[in-house]
Amino acid sequence: MRLSEYGFKPATIACLHSAGIDATWELEDHTCRELIWHSQIPATAVYDVLRVLHRHGTTLKPTTKRDAHPLTERNLEIFRLRVVDGRTLKEVGEQVGIGIERVRQILAFQFGLHGEPPVARLQPRRGRKRTTTPDCAQLGRAIQRLRTDRDLTIEQIATKTELNAEQLERIEDGERDPTWTTLHRIAVALDTTAALLSYAIEVEPRGQSR
């Protein structure tokens, strides 16, 4: 079915078209986390996607091999508060009447989200301590993970960024700290943004190391 026939907002449809998604069957083949990472799809559009799919009795592909959990209005509200508005886990829990750990579980199992979503990382908060810059090894692993998830070779990224393969290999191996300009070029080549790349670092699988 065409997206326009499903009831999405025009702005959402425009974002999905920009991302190469033109039909509902293509949309349902993506996970929530994949859409959030996509540079062409803002959090508001992802929320609209979840809301409309829920109204039609379906949802996005589960992040894990388990079946997708049925969406509830409360879980949609949790997603909106945390991912769209950038509220803290404590603020979300107080708003919907559950504990912080339960909020964290719902975000992880329902939406495949761990750590801070991109909008929360970018919003300044009074009294919030500045997070430390991730080390080169963390950054390299995140870049490599996103590259392999997208079935891209180092040579393909090198062509898109006008860097050479050896430079990219050193970045992925954690042997080189890229400048912000280089990081931005790599993010664009991975079809994401520098801010969302930092989120990829945040959700690095536990125990993963070189």
pLDDT category at 129 given cuts 50, 70, 90 is very low
First to last CA, the chain: 44
The domain ranges of the chain are 3-122, 136-202
Contact, 142 vs 200, CB < 8 A? yes
Dihedral angle computed from the Cα positions of residues 197, 203, 209 and 210, in that order, rounded to the nearest 10 degrees: -20
Contact, 187 vs 157, CB < 8 A? no
CA 10 to chain centre: 22
Q: At 79, which amino acid appears?
A: F
Neighbouring C-beta atoms of residue 139, cutoff 10 Å: 23
67's torsion region: left (phi>0), alpha (psi -120 to 50) or beta?
A: beta
Q: φ and ψ at 115, to 5 degrees?
A: 70, -160
β-bridge partners, 23: 2
* CA 117-120-123 angle, 5° bins: 150
What's the pLDDT at 163? Answer: 87
For the segment 149-203, what is each residue's pLDDT rounded down to a tens digit?
Answer: 889 999 999 999 888 999 899 888 888 877 777 888 888 888 877 666 766 665 5
For the segment 47-103, what is each residue's pLDDT rounded down to a tens digit?
Answer: 999 999 889 888 887 665 555 567 899 999 999 998 888 888 899 999 999 999 999
Structure tokens at 195: 């801010």
CATH number attached to the domain at 136-202: 1.10.260.40
